[in-house]
C-alpha cells in the first residue's frame, strides 16, 4: 500500500469542496507546481479558461505521449484506448463509436433505464430500511445499464467492479493496479472473442458486424474495457455523492423531487458541483507554450483540476453553493474538446431518471445515522462515497 504518501493536491477534497489552497491558486497565479504520486513534477491548472484551452488543443497538449520512466500503460495495453491516444488515431476510433452515444440514440434506451431504476427501487422497498444506497441503487443501476449496452454478463459484475476499484485506487501499489488491468483486459478479450464468432445485438456485436475489419481484437478489447469501467464508475459515484449532497440540503432535495421541469438543470448543477473526476488523464506539452502567464516547457506534465475550474467565477456567482435551479451548462465535468466524455448523454439520462425516481419513491429518505461520519473515496481517480446507509 502507498497510502502513507501525501495525497496530491488535485485529488484532495473537503467533503464536496476542492481544497481551499487550489481556490487560492485560481484567484492568484492560476497554476502551481506539485509532485505527483509517481515522483514527477506537474503543473496543476485551475482556471476554467486555461483548462478548456488545454483540453481543446490536442496538438500542443498530448494524451498519448508518455516520457521515459513515466508509469502507466504501454504497448498492447494502450490498444483501443480513447483516453490514451491522440488524433488521428483517436479520431478514427471515436468516429466508429459516436453514433451509438448520440442524444437521440440514448433516448431510445430511456424506457429500459427507467425499468432498471424502478426494479431496484422496488427491491429496496421490499427489503425495507435501512439500506446502503451505494450497494442497493447507485452502483447496480449504471452497472446493469452498461452491461446490457455492451453485452457483458451482469452475473460477472462483482468481478469487474472489483477490478475497476483496484485500477482506480491510487493508494494501491502500481503492481496491484497493473494486475487488475491485466485481468480486466483478459476478461474483455474473452467477450470480444465470443462476439467475433457470434455477434449479438449489443454494442460489442455491432462493432464486430459493422467494423470488424477496421478494428483489431486488441482495439475492440480496449474500447470495451474503457466503456465498461467509465460507464458505471462515474455515474454510480455521482448518484451516491449527489444523494448525500441533497440529503444535507432539504430545499435542494425538494426541488429535484418535485419539479420535473427542472430536472435537467439540476443534473447539470450536480455534475458541476460534485465533479467526481478530479482531473482525467494528464496532458504533456508537446512544445514550449505559455499558459496563465507561465512558460510551460516541452515535455512538462499538466494536471487539470476540474472541480476547481467548475467553480471559477467566470462561470457564475456563488459557485461553492449547490443550486439546482442554476443554469450552468458550460462546465467541464465531462471534459472538453476531442476527449469530451463519449458517454455523457448516457450519464445524463441515468441521472435524470434515477435521482427524481429515488426521491419520489422514498419521500422521507434520510441518512440512517445523521451523526455518523461518511467515508469518502479518497485516493481514488473517481471521487464519491464508499457507502451511504439510508432509511425512509
Mapped onto helix, strand or coil, the DSSP state of residue 44 is strand
pTM to 2 decimal places = 0.94
What pLDDT does residue 71 have?
A: 55
Tell whether the model's pLDDT for residue 155 goes beyond 60.
yes
In whole angstroms, what is the distance from residue 220 CA to residue 189 CA?
8
Residue written as cell 504501454? Answer: 74
Tens digits of residue pLDDT in 330-346 = 999 999 999 999 999 99
Pairing of strands 61-62, 389-391: unpaired
In whole angstroms, what is the distance from residue 321 CA to residue 343 CA?
27
Neighbours of 189 (CB within 10 A): 17
Sign of the torsion formed by the C-alpha atoms of 258, 262, 264 and 266? negative
Residues 178, 72: contact at Cβ < 8 Å? no
**DSSP single-letter state for residue 132:** E
Kindly indicate the confidence band of residue 77, based on its pLDDT and cuts at 50, 70 and 90.
low
Tens digits of residue pLDDT in 341-387 = 999 999 999 999 999 999 999 999 999 999 999 999 988 999 999 99
Q: Which three cell numbers stand for residue 143?
A: 452497472
What kind and span of H or E run contains 367? strand 366-367
Average pLDDT over residues 92-121: 94
Average pLDDT over residues 223-250: 94
Strand-pairing partners, residue 294, are 291
- Greatest Cα pair distance, the chain, in angstroms, is 61
Amino acid at each position: 500500500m502507498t497510502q502513507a504518501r501525501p495525497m496530491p493536491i488535485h485529488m484532495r477534497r473537503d467533503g464536496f469542496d476542492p481544497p481551499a489552497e487550489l481556490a487560492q491558486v485560481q484567484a492568484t497565479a492560476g497554476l502551481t507546481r506539485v509532485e505527483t504520486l509517481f515522483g514527477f513534477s506537474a503543473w496543476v491548472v485551475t482556471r476554467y479558461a486555461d483548462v478548456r484551452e488545454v483540453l481543446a488543443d490536442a496538438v500542443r497538449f498530448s494524451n498519448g505521449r508518455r516520457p521515459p520512466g513515466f508509469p502507466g500503460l504501454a504497448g498492447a495495453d494502450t490498444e483501443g484506448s480513447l483516453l490514451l491516444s491522440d488524433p488521428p488515431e483517436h479520431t478514427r476510433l471515436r468516429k466508429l463509436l459516436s453514433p451509438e452515444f448520440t442524444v437521440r440514440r440514448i433516448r431510445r434506451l430511456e424506457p429500459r433505464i427507467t425499468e432498471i431504476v424502478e426494479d431496484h427501487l422496488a427491491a429496496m422497498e421490499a427489503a425495507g430500511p435501512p439500506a446502503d444506497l451505494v450497494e442497493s441503487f447507485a452502483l447496480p443501476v449504471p452497472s446493469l445499464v452498461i452491461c446490457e449496452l455492451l453485452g457483458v454478463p451482469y452475473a460477472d459484475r462483482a468481478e469487474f467492479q472489483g477490478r475497476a476499484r483496484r485500477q482506480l485506487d491510487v493508494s494501491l501499489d502500481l503492481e496491484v493496479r497493473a494486475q487488475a488491468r491485466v485481468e480486466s483486459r483478459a476478461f474483455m478479450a474473452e467477450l470480444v472473442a465470443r462476439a467475433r464468432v457470434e455477434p449479438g445485438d449489443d454494442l460489442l456485436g455491432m462493432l464486430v458486424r459493422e467494423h470488424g475489419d477496421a478494428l483489431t481484437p486488441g482495439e475492440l478489447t480496449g474500447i470495451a474495457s474503457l466503456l465498461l469501467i467509465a460507464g458505471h464508475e462515474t455515474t454510480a459515484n455521482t448518484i451516491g455523492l449527489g444523494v448525500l449532497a441533497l440529503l444535507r440540503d432539504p430545499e435542494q432535495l425538494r426541488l429535484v423531487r418535485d419539479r420535473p421541469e427542472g430536472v435537467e438543470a439540476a443534473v447539470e448543477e450536480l455534475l458541476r458541483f460534485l465533479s467526481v473526476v478530479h482531473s482525467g488523464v494528464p496532458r504533456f506539452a508537446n512544445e514550449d507554450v505559455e499558459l496563465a502567464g507561465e512558460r510551460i516547457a516541452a515535455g512538462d506534465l499538466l494536471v487539470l483540476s476540474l472541480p476547481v475550474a467548475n467553480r471559477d467565477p467566470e462561470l457564475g456567482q456563488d459557485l461553492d453553493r449547490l443550486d439546482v435551479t442554476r443554469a450552468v451548462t458550460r462546465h467541464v465535468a465531462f471534459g472538453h474538446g476531442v476527449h469530451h466524455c463519449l458517454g455523457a448523454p448516457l450519464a445524463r439520462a441515468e441521472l435524470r431518471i434515477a435521482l427524481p425516481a429515488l426521491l419520489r419513491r422514498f419521500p422521507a429518505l434520510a441518512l440512517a445515522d445523521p451523526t455518523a461520519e461518511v467515508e469518502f473515496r479518497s485516493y481514488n481517480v473517481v471521487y464519491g462515497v464508499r457507502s451511504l446507509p439510508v432509511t425512509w
